[in-house]
Structure formats: structure tokens, C-alpha cells
Copies of this chain bind each other. A is one copy, B any other.
Amino acid sequence: MRTWNNVAIVGVGLIGGSIGMALLQRKLAKKVIGIGRRLESLEVARAHGCVSQVTTNLAEGVAEAELIVVCTPVESIAGFVQHTAQHCPPNCLITDAGSTKAQIVAAIEGANLNRTFIGSHPIAGSERSGPDAATADLFDDRVTVVTPTSQSSDVALAALRDFWESIGSRVIEMSAADHDIVLARTSHLPHLVAAALAAATPASEQTLALTGMGWADTTRIAAGDPELWRQIFLANRDATLKALADFETVVKTWRDALQSANGPLLIDLLREGKRRRDAVGS
């Protein structure tokens, strides 16, 4: 496994902080430089063991980087990648950790960086955020999708795969477009549904007192950061709308089954949901 002399992380929240912590604890990087806007937050990240050095100066932070991981909210990723590309060494590998890929990859490849960028999406995280929620094992047994294009070299792709695997992740290659279609169904639609279910629950004290584990599980991700999720939904509107349409079709069948008190149809619907759920496991 490759070790790095100098890794720069732009945006040291839960994901960026966990990447840095995993690299440092496994001694896979000598220096992990955390780059952000607010020194106070960066110092929290350093104190928590997420990074070894911090700076608010992006150009200085990436000046000697061998690897840069941009972990900012999705709307700002392409801009930060372009900015880091202007200041990092020529052979530096740049990647990101954004929850959407097609818009980001297209914007970066359209900018002709003269640096190597391949998109990544580590499918890990929680409803918590910030560097104090970071853990070194966040990526253990999780999947990271990497989205090479015809512009991506085999050498860079191998290095990127090795990087994610070195911090515990399995790696899957997909096109950015396919990634967004699949994630609309496995992540973005679930977030929409969880948020809608929570919002549709009356705010009365009595109602909220009678929520059990089922409600708690089903709505858990609705606690996520609204601004981060606004950006994700806007960056993956089309695929999310298609996924939503399929969900609405199933819900319509549920409505029909309830209205007509159709027990056999209810059993079919429940079994189909259970079958897909059981196929994944806890």
C-alpha cells in the first residue's frame, strides 16, 4: 500500500476529517494538511486527530500535496478542484468525496485542468456532521465509487483505488452518470422520503411521544444538514425525480390496497418490501 508524504484535505468535516484520521492512524501519510475557511473549526479537527496541520490558505496548503481530497459541499467541489489544480505540484492526484458526480466531473473536465482529477464518492457517513464526529473506521467495509472517464490514466486510477482501499473501503468503478442514477435510488430518494415522513408527522407533544423505533429509524437521516442536501438534490434532480416517480407508483398501489381493504394485495406489497430489505441486511 502506498504511503503519502503530503495529503491535503479541503473541507475537514465528518468525511474529510475521517479520511485524515484514517490516514494518520494507519501511518499512511506523514502530513495531512487540513484546509478550510475557519481556523477555529480547523483547530477542532487538528485537536481531534483528523489532520496534522491546518491552514486557511488553499494555495499554500496544496503547494506540496501528492494527493488532494476535496470534501466540501457538492456545489463548491468543482471550483475548489480547479483552484487547487492551479497551485499543486504537476503530478498531484486530485479527487473529491461528493455525493453526486455527473455535474462535478463534467465541470472539471470541461475546465481542462492540466492536473489529474478522478471523482470519488465514499458511501459512508451519518446524520452527524463536523470533524468532532469523525472516526478512523468510517470507511471500513463501506463502498467508495470512483468515476474515471476516458481522460483518466490507468496509473492514476490504480493510485486512487489503492488510496480508498488503504483506509478500509471497497472500491467500485462506475460512470458518473450511472453513479448518480443509482445513488438517486439508494440515497437521495431515501433522504427525501425520510424528510417528508418526518414533516408529515404532527408536531404535537402527544404524537411525538408515541413515536417508536420504527419512526425513529425511518426518519433518522432527516436530521442531516439541510444546506448540504439542498445542493445534492439540485445536482441530481433528474435521476431523483425518476426514482421518486417509481416510489409514487408503489405508494399509489398501497393507497388502492388500503382503500379497497385488499388483504392479498397488502401482503404482496409487504412481501416485496421485505424481500428487497432482507436482500441487503442490517
Residues of A within 8 A of B (CB): 123-126, 142-143, 145, 172, 174, 182-183, 185-187, 189-203, 206-224, 226-227, 229-230, 233-234, 237, 240-241, 243-244, 246-251, 254-255, 258-259, 261, 263, 266-267, 269-280, 282
Cα separation A230 to B206 with both chains bound (whole Å) = 26
Neighbouring B residues of A194 by C-beta, 8 Å: 214, 217-218, 273, 277
Cα separation A245 to B143 with both chains bound (whole Å) = 36
What are some 16 contacts across the A-B interface (CB < 8 A)? Answer: A172-B210, A183-B210, A185-B201, A186-B214, A189-B200, A191-B214, A194-B218, A196-B254, A198-B272, A199-B269, A199-B273, A211-B280, A220-B277, A234-B266, A237-B259, A248-B251
Neighbouring B residues of A274 by C-beta, 8 Å: 195, 198, 222-224, 226
Q: Which of B123, B199, B263 contacts A234 (CB 8 A)?
A: B263
Neighbouring B residues of A230 by C-beta, 8 Å: 263, 266-267, 270
Cα separation A226 to B277 with both chains bound (whole Å) = 12
Q: Are A269 and B195 in contact (CB under 8 A)?
A: yes
Neighbouring B residues of A190 by C-beta, 8 Å: 197, 214-215, 218-219
Quote the shortest CB–CB distance from A182 to chain B (angstroms): 5
